[in-house]
């Protein structure tokens, strides 16, 4: 696992529950709503850190489906490549 525990894919953000470690997918269309762990029902907050997106298809899914503005960090040298998606 990398230092980024959140792994975006083309449907949502996959993040581990801080309590039990269960991996949960937070689908983009529901970002900003309340999520609970599927296993232990611990509340999962929206990610508060830039999300590292490795492929353009993931970015497109995130930017196109998220209901929140999302700061996306492309790769290691973040600042130069970070980009805001905009509310639709
Ligand atoms: Zn849990």
CA of residue 48 to ligand 1 center, whole Å = 18
In this prediction, residues 60-70 reach a mean pLDDT of 80
Place of tokens 């960090």: 73
H or E element that contains 84: strand 83-84
pTM over 0.75: no
72 falls in which pLDDT band (50, 70, 90)? low
- Please spell the DSSP secondary structure of 52-78, one letter per residue: E--SHHHHHHHHHH-SS--EEE-STTG
CA of 86 to the centre of ligand 1 (A): 31
SS3 of residue 15 by DSSP: strand
**What is the tens place of the pLDDT at every residue in 13-63?**
898 999 999 999 999 888 878 889 999 999 988 776 777 777 888 888 888
Give, as one character, the DSSP assignment of residue 26: E
CA–centroid distance, 36 to ligand 1, in Å, is: 8
């Amino acid at each position: 696992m990398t230092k980024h525990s959140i792994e975006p894919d083309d449907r949502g953000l996959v993040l581990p529950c801080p309590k039990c470690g269960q991996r949960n997918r937070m689908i983009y269309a529901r970002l900003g709503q309340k999520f609970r762990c599927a296993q232990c029902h611990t509340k999962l907050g929206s990610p508060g850190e830039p999300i590292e997106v490795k492929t353009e298809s993931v970015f497109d899914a995130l930017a196109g489906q998220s209901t929140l503005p999302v700061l996306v960090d492309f790769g290691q040298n973040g600042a130069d490549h970070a980009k805001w998606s905009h509310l639709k």
